[in-house]
């Protein structure tokens, strides 16, 4: 079977990682109250809303992972370009395997960006549906006169007071969420543009359909192309520093979200693309530490 050829592309643009980092910070500040909510309150409404908030945080994690992959690709491309420029005597088979691994990484990055965008795609409608979840629990409407004993009556009165507190708590949190829908929409727009950048980079479409595909990397001998990869890496370094700063401002919150979301229902297996020899994760974290 004759080999097909895939020409390794050069980045024609740099994604707006400043907007992505800033909107990430803003979105996390809005979602934080739901992710750190006290377990003192128990209600189906609270659990439903918290699950949705954690879903958004997990989507942000997907975007961070996609950016990490983008950084790694830029870094490895530059290392590869340096190796071939100094004439390292590396067997062609090894070079092709290295590039195949890089393209797999690009595929994962694009998939993670899509996953993040999908979660935030209809954020306004989702928040509106969340707002309509009944906050009153049925016990609030108990008829106190039905009680045949003072002990039961007092227990029901105490439960009603707890329900009032829960209602006030949820109403306040939901009000804050509604007032800041635009913040979540800004992140949605930023991740949408980032996903479009991955698509424009075109490192995944049809590139790794077969191991018989030969990757043409001659473009990396062009200094202008290498310079474009350096510019891209610089943008990712700036993004990385911003995300680190976000986590360092409140390490307690970051560590809480770094723990597995055990109270959350399973949503599926996650990303299916294996990158090099990376071990499979048993469970995704809601907010992983970014390059400690």
Rounded Cα–Cα distance for residues 186 and 192 (Å): 10
Model confidence at 23: pLDDT above 90: yes
**Best CA proximity match to 21, nearest among 188, 181, 182, 187:** 187
How far is CA 206 from each of CA 85, 94, 126, 152, 271, rounded to the nearest angstrom?
27, 21, 35, 69, 19
Matching residue, tokens 């945080």: 57
Matching residue, tokens 């393209």: 103
Say what percent of the chain tops pLDDT 90. 27
Higher pLDDT residue, 42 or 29? 29
With cut-offs at 50, 70 and 90, classify the pLDDT of residue 168: confident
How far is CA 20 from each of CA 25, 37, 52, 286, 291, rounded to the nearest angstrom?
9, 26, 21, 18, 18
Residue 277 lies in a domain: no
Residue range 32-36: mean pLDDT, rounded: 77
Higher pLDDT residue, 159 or 170? 170
143-164: pLDDT as tens digits = 434 344 444 455 555 555 666 7
Residue 95 lies in a domain: yes
Residue range 231-236: mean pLDDT, rounded: 95
285: DSSP letter: B
How far is CA 158 from each of CA 104, 164, 168, 171, 283, rounded to the nearest angstrom?
58, 10, 16, 20, 39
Q: Which of 140-144, 145-149, 221-225, 277-281 has the lowest mean pLDDT?
A: 277-281
For residue 88, the model assigns a pLDDT of 81
Residue 260, beta-bridge partner list = 285
81-111: pLDDT as tens digits = 999 998 888 899 999 999 988 888 898 999 9
Residue 275 lies in a domain: no
Model confidence at 125: pLDDT above 70: yes
For residue 257, the model assigns a pLDDT of 54
pTM: 0.73
How far is CA 268 from each of CA 186, 259, 284, rounded to the nearest angstrom?
27, 18, 10
Residue 129 lies in a domain: yes
Rounded Cα–Cα distance for residues 212 and 209 (Å): 9
Higher pLDDT residue, 281 or 200? 200
- Count how many domains the chain has: 1
Phi then psi for residue 262, to 5 deg, are: -70, -25
Rounded Cα–Cα distance for residues 146 and 164 (Å): 20
**Best CA proximity match to 58, nearest among 274, 265, 273:** 265
Q: Detail the DSSP E strand segments found in 163-279.
A: 213-216
3-state secondary structure (DSSP) of residue 183:
helix
For residue 246, the model assigns a pLDDT of 81
Residue 282 lies in a domain: no
Residue range 114-127: mean pLDDT, rounded: 81
Higher pLDDT residue, 180 or 2? 180
For residue 260, the model assigns a pLDDT of 41
Residue 292 lies in a domain: no
Residue 102 lies in a domain: yes
**Best CA proximity match to 271, nearest among 75, 65, 54, 100:** 65
Residue 285, beta-bridge partner list = 260
80: DSSP letter: H
Model confidence at 30: pLDDT above 90: no
283: DSSP letter: S
43-82: pLDDT as tens digits = 666 777 778 888 888 888 889 999 999 999 999 999 999 9
With cut-offs at 50, 70 and 90, classify the pLDDT of residue 284: very low
Higher pLDDT residue, 163 or 114? 114
User: Which CATH number is 220's domain given?
Assistant: 1.20.1170
With cut-offs at 50, 70 and 90, classify the pLDDT of residue 7: confident
Retrieve residue 235's tokens. Answer: 């943008």
Retrieve residue 68's tokens. Answer: 């990490």
| Host domain of residue 172 | 4-258
Residue 265 lies in a domain: no
């Amino acid at each position: 079977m004759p080999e097909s050829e895939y020409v390794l592309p050069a980045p024609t643009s740099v994604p707006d990682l400043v907007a992505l980092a800033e909107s990430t910070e803003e979105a996390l500040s809005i979602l934080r109250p739901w992710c750190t909510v006290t377990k003192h309150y128990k209600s189906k409404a609270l659990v439903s809303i918290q699950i949705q908030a954690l879903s958004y945080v997990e989507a942000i994690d997907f975007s961070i992972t996609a950016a990490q992959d983008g950084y790694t690709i830029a870094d490895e491309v530059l290392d590869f370009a340096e190796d071939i420029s100094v004439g390292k005597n590396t067997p062609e088979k090894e070079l092709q395997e290295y590039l195949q691994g890089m393209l797999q990484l690009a595929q994962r990055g694009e998939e993670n960006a899509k996953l993040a965008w999908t979660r935030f795609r209809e954020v306004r409608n989702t928040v509106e549906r969340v707002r309509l979840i009944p906050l009153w629990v049925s016990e609030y409407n108990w008829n106190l006169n039905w009680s045949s004993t003072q002990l039961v009556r007092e227990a029901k009165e105490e439960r009603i007071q707890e329900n009032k507190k829960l209602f006030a708590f949820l109403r306040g949190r939901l009000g804050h969420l509604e007032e800041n829908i635009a913040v979540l929409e800004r992140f949605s727009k930023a991740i949408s543009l980032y996903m479009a950048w991955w698509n424009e980079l075109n490192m995944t479409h049809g590139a790794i359909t077969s191991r018989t595909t030969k990757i043409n990397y001659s473009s990396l001998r062009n200094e202008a192309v290498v310079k474009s990869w350096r510019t891209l890496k610089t943008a990712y370094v700036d993004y990385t520093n911003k995300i680190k700063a976000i986590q360092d401002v409140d390490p307690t919150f970051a560590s809480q979200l770094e723990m597995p979301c055990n109270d959350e229902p399973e949503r599926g297996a996650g990303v299916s693309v294996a990158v090099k020899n990376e071990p499979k994760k048993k469970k995704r974290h809601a907010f992983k530490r970014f390059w400690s």
